[in-house]
Structure 1
Amino acid sequence: MPVEYAGFMLKPTGFFAANAAFDIPPERNSRSVLAGEEKGGGAACCHKA
């Protein structure tokens, strides 16, 4: 049985010009660190208390 396919695409108009999320300041998360970044200059495996 022959079948015909039809499709469509939705494109928002002015999304980047009027997106309310762009007005929110970035959150400062002090608990996140880069991989390999150390505090105190010592390696975790060699820490002596």
Structure 2
Amino acid sequence: MTSSQCVADRNNCNNEECEAYYVFAKIDDAINNAVNSITIKDMVNEKL
């Protein structure tokens, strides 16, 4: 299974091979969400 398959199917990833990809995908999502939130906040602050 490739990493992209694991990430795409992470809700059904129960085998150990996918476990690390699952964890990294969650971290990646969290980072992306944080970056997006900060960017939106900065844009709002600039307009105010």
TM-score normalised by the chain length of structure 1: 0.24
Highest RCO, 1 vs 2 (Cα 8 Å, sep ≥ 6): 2
Higher helix share: 2
TM-score normalised by the chain length of structure 2: 0.24
* Structure showing greater Rg: 1
